[in-house]
Amino acid sequence: MLINYSCHYKEDMLTNVCVKETEELYATPILQQTAFWSAVKTSLGANTIAVNFTSGRTDLFPKLHDRPHVKSDLLIILRQIDRNHSVAYVPYGPEIEPADEFQGMFLEELSESLRSILPRNCILIRYDLCWESYWASERDHFDENGIWKGEPENHSQELRFNFSTHKWNFKKAHSNILPANTIYLNLTQDSETLLGKMKPKTRYNIKLAQRKGVTVRSVGMEGINIWYELYKETATRNHLLLNDIKYFQAVLDARADNTSSPADVSLLVAEYDGMPLAAMFLVITGSRGSYLYGASSSQHRNLMATYALQWEAIRRSQQAGCTDYDMFGISPSPDPEHPLYGLYKFKSGFGGEIHHSLGCWDYPLDKAAYALFRASELHSQGYHLS
């Protein structure tokens, strides 16, 4: 695969768009945009690229208005989907978030700048955006109880996203890869304040688990089989696709300590009388702790081990100096019919702010090949790009 490592200087919105080593990816709280995540994906067989870019249009970024120019980067994961075609996937990137009216224009210029950097057989760039949804700040998209009603249908979303672009090329993907809805906890408060902001039942369950003798410990690779047995039980119970144990070994084993954006990974196990009842991966990147994967046993559910596990993860994140904690993935609203409704009920009990993001957006580079790819995704759930 040939990749152009030259830099491109433009007189427009972006300048100095060039490839760099993934080890040089800037420090960020977004796990999926770190050198650590690149190491995980590389160990699983993916090709990754890190790209630098600079913007002199600081008026595009109201949150960064105090800078003379904005310099950022992004991690791209390349996937070969068949013998002749590949796709470029940008998980939760770019990190910097332009003002709403400039987002399509900014991503369009970035996408065109990336054309000569990506392989010639790359048919699209998929941005899995964690930028806040336009409609999350509009009252009309919440009901009288403050419950999110969701975004409009895809055509209306595309009209708004493409409004400031030249080519009107962006397409809303059929589905999101990473969670588009999550809950962030503010960790700049003491433990008592955090507990006080939780729902009474959640607070009660945390204390119940402690009274009943549930303990939480951190394990290394020697505990991966404990995790995987709980994970298999959870996947079977909830009718989920089962990932191979090698995937989780890669997350636990990846090292990026000598990079600009490392991560601290802990596999936490909640036990009662020596019996594993729940487990989760806690990943700390910069100022954020993230709940990445979780699993639990069907036994002794009355001991509320999952509550003890989350509380320990929150406490560890706080002790590590994190300012926020990402609960990572809920249903967009408390809809009992949604497959993630159980996660909504559980995670919302810990307090925090619900964040609705824009999700996955495609920028086709080869329109004919993209049309076939899009049809394939619609009828066969497509390819797993994450």
pLDDT in tens, 281-313: 999 999 999 999 999 999 999 999 999 999 999
* Confidence check: pLDDT of 382 > 80: no
According to the model, what pLDDT value does residue 64 have?
A: 67
Rounded CA-CA distance 148/11 in Å is 41
Three-class SS state of 173: coil
pLDDT in tens, 64-80: 666 667 899 999 999 99
* Residue 9 lies inside a defined structural domain of this protein: no
Q: Do 303 and 202 sit in the same domain of this protein?
A: yes
Whether 239 has a pLDDT exceeding 90, the answer reads no
Q: What is the percent of the chain where pLDDT is above 70? A: 94
Identify whether 287 is part of a domain: yes
**What Rg do the C-alpha atoms of the chain give, in angstroms?**
21
Shared-domain flag, residues 281 and 368 = no
Average pLDDT score over the chain = 92
- Rounded to 10 deg, the angle between the 200-211 and 305-319 helix axes is 100
Is residue 3 very low, low, confident or very high in pLDDT (cuts 50, 70, 90)? very low
Q: Phi first, then psi: give them for residue 385, nearest 5 degrees.
A: -100, -10
**Residue type at 282 in one-letter notation:** L
Cα 294 → chain centroid: 15
User: Quick one: pLDDT at residue 66?
Assistant: 66
User: What would the mean pLDDT of 135-156 be, rounded to a whole number?
Assistant: 92
> Do residues 258 and 252 make contact, with C-beta atoms less than 8 angstroms apart?
no
- Is the pLDDT assigned to residue 348 strictly greater than 80? yes
* Assigned domain for 6 exists: no
Nearest to 326 by CA among 185, 129, 128: 185
For residue 76, what are the domain limits? 14-180+357-380
The answer to whether residue 339 is domain-embedded is no
Helix 103-114 and helix 154-162, axial crossing angle in degrees, nearest 10? 80
Task: With a cut of 50, say whether residue 102 has pLDDT above it.
Answer: yes
pLDDT score of 380: 67
Q: Are 136 and 148 in contact (CB under 8 A)?
A: yes
Which token pair is 157?
Answer: 């979303």
Tens-place pLDDT, residues 121-134: 999 999 999 999 99
More confidently predicted of 67 and 4 = 67
Asked if 356 contacts 332 with a C-beta cutoff of 8 angstroms, the reply is yes
**CATH number of the domain within which 243 lies:** 3.40.630.30
Instruction: Note the pLDDT of residue 385.
Output: 40
Q: Does residue 170 fall inside a structural domain?
A: yes
Specify the range with the lowest mean pLDDT, choosing from 43-57, 181-195, 214-228.
43-57
Q: Is residue 348 assigned to a domain?
A: no
Q: In DSSP terms, which residues pair with 183 in a beta bridge?
A: 354
For the stretch 83-95, pLDDT in tens is 999 999 999 999 9
Inside any domain, residue 273: yes
Write the pLDDT tens digit of every residue in 7-51.
543 446 777 899 999 999 999 999 999 999 999 999 999 999 999
- In this structure, is residue 284 part of a structural domain? yes
Strands (E) in the chain, as ranges, are: 14-20, 47-55, 70-80, 86-91, 122-132, 171-172, 181-186, 215-219, 264-272, 275-285, 288-296, 324-326, 353-364
Do 173 and 27 share a structural domain?
A: yes
User: Is 90 exceeded by the pLDDT of residue 177?
Assistant: yes
Q: How many domains does the chain have?
A: 2
d(CA 334, CA 147): 8
8 Å CB contact between 249 and 242: no
pLDDT (0 to 100) of residue 211: 98
Q: Output the pLDDT for position 369.
A: 96
What are the tokens at 236? 């079977």
Can you tell me the distance from the alpha carbon of 317 to that of 56, in angstroms, rounded to the nearest whole number? 35
